[in-house]
Amino acid sequence: MTPETRTATGTPRAAFTGKAPAALNDPRLRANFRRAMDGLMAKRAAQFADPAEWAALRARGTEARARALAKLPELLERLERRCTENGIVVHWAETPAEANAIVLGILQAAGARRVIKGKSMVTEEIHLNAHLEAHGITTVESDLGEYIIQLAGEAPSHIVMPCIHKNKAEIAALFAARIPGQGYTETVDELTAAARRTLRGEFARADAGISGVNFAVAETGTLVLIENEGNGRLSTTLPPLHIAVTGIEKALENLEDVPPLLSLLTRSATGQPITTYVNMISGPRRPGEKDGPHAVHLVLLDNGRSRIYGDPELRDTLRCIRCAACMNHCPVYTRVGGHTYTFTYPGPIGKILTPQIEGLDCAGDQPHASSLCGACAEVCPVQIPIPELLVRLRGEAVHPGPAAVAVKGGGSGYTLFESLGWRCSTLVFTSPRLYRTVGRLAGWFGTLMPGWLPPLNRWTRFRSKPRFARHSLHQLARKGGYDHE
């Protein structure tokens, strides 16, 4: 997928809907996701076996994130001050283009030609690699999953496990084709060893490391970065220059907010009590220290987040700690996989985040791509009311709020046909006599309704036609003597 097809311009409003059938009809993809999500759900469930502990930890985590957002403008200023005191250079980017330009500028000023990257969804969001490559800077992804999809020329299909859509055999074939001297093997140890051999050289040669940030602590100016492979630590300590890129919503007030959120994050994401590496980055190498980068930069990206922040209800979207539990538990995501979502963030969180970042006019079908089953909200460690926000965005798509707080592309989903449909149904449902008449008519003639008639044909494509009862409950209740005060 090229960056062009993934940005707002020119993307059809119904990209998700258009892509879904291909994913549904790909048995290997379906099996890969089902197997992977089943495993992740089981691991998470084992971690939160005690409902009381889950509820208490979740309440703490939610409070910490909610408090941080409530004070976000102030915390961001404090974060900038503390980081600066620690020797971290802070940059503000309103748009992806600005963020890309800032990162490129830092690299060019340092004369950097090769970049090693730790896993970062925000750099995926701004399509940083493509921008750097276009300016002659080589980028190598060092997270194993990211490394695999970079070799394959694909985008992440999951925010924690970017190559979860591939099985072992697919990875084995990819490595054999793309890594010089690598034969075909499905042995996991041999595959990881192959990636490790290549990446070790890249770490050593890199002029700069670029990473994401899990939490940015305002109190101490600390960037918290968690990972399992050590690639995050190498990317942020081995090269002479480290650039961290993150969204402005990642700020936390205090260092003591970190432990409950880390616990929620790793247990929700991969079912691990803690990740193998927890990096607390608090500045460049100091005089007398033997390792660490000579310069550390932090790029804070807005890209629509301020706009989301302006709406007290939609603001809950920004509580997200990117654990991916929502997508792991989503019956829709499990069946269509991450690439169907077209933009960087898939699954339930993507369905509320993408339309707000990119606009309802280009991802307007995503809030509707949900049965509102609520599995996501049930497992969300910071209690984002995802189904409620999906419904809110569905509303924004047809009736935009006041211009000052309107969601980008609000009102773009309005059609006269649908409007008429809802107005007619409202008329029927608010006129009891009319409703009862319609019910009687349905009992007599409902079965004559042709199955090919839209939108009924969308139902009958996969199911038998619903059969109206000969007598409605209204009629039976009256006959049965229930119809009285």
Q: Rounded distance, CA 308 to CA 325, Å?
A: 22
Nearer to another protein, 113 or 465 (CB): 465
**Which among 302, 307, 317 has a CA at the least distance from the CA of 380?**
317
**Largest interatomic CA distance in the chain:** 92
Q: Minimal distance in Å, beta carbon 336 to another protein?
A: 6
Site for another protein in 53-112 (CB under 8 A): 66, 69-70
Beta partners for 215? 224
Peptide bond into 455 cis (omega under 30): yes
Q: Does 249 bind another protein (CB under 8 A)?
A: no
Scanning 93-101, 161-169, 298-306, 473-481 for contacts with another protein by CB under 8 A, the matching segment is: 473-481
Are 24 and 335 in contact by the 8 Å Cβ rule? The answer is: yes
Position 363, amino acid? A
How far is C-alpha 417 from the chain's CA centre?
32
Nearer to another protein, 3 or 443 (CB): 443
Position 459, amino acid? W
Q: Minimal distance in Å, beta carbon 285 to another protein?
A: 39
Q: Does 335 bind another protein (CB under 8 A)?
A: yes
Site for another protein in 422-441 (CB under 8 A): 422-423, 425-426, 428-430, 432, 435-436, 439
Nearer to another protein, 91 or 319 (CB): 319
Site for another protein in 346-405 (CB under 8 A): 365, 368-380, 383-385, 387-388, 391-399
Nearer to another protein, 104 or 456 (CB): 456
Q: Minimal distance in Å, beta carbon 156 to another protein?
A: 21
Nearer to another protein, 33 or 175 (CB): 33
Nearer to another protein, 21 or 105 (CB): 21
Q: Rounded distance, CA 310 to CA 281, Å?
A: 30
Annotate 333-344 with b (16+ C-beta within 10 A) or e (fewer). Answer: bbbbbbbbbbbb
Nearer to another protein, 26 or 94 (CB): 26
Total residues binding another protein (CB under 8 A): 87
Nearer to another protein, 176 or 373 (CB): 373
Q: Minimal distance in Å, beta carbon 87 to another protein?
A: 33
Cβ neighbours of 321 (radius 10 Å): 24
Q: Rounded distance, CA 76 to CA 253, Å?
A: 9
Q: Does 472 bind another protein (CB under 8 A)?
A: yes
Site for another protein in 12-41 (CB under 8 A): 17, 20-21, 24
- DSSP code, position 120: -
Site for another protein in 147-186 (CB under 8 A): none
Contact flags string 294-333 toward another protein, x per CB under 8 A: ------------------xx-xx--x-----------xx-
Scanning 95-103, 260-268, 302-310, 450-458 for contacts with another protein by CB under 8 A, the matching segment is: 450-458
Beta partners for 209? 116, 242
Q: Minimal distance in Å, beta carbon 222 to another protein?
A: 24
For residue 365, report the phi and psi dihedrals to the nearest 5 degrees: -80, -15
Q: Rounded distance, CA 113 to CA 380, Å?
A: 40
Q: Does 190 bind another protein (CB under 8 A)?
A: no
Q: Rounded distance, CA 316 to CA 300, Å?
A: 19
DSSP strands (E only) in 25-86: none
Site for another protein in 406-425 (CB under 8 A): 418, 422-423, 425
Q: Does 468 bind another protein (CB under 8 A)?
A: yes
Q: Minimal distance in Å, beta carbon 326 to another protein?
A: 10
Annotate 453-468 with b (16+ C-beta within 10 A) or e (fewer). Answer: eeeeeeeeeeeeeeeb
| Token representation of residue 477 | 């209740």
Coil, strand or helix: which one is 58? helix
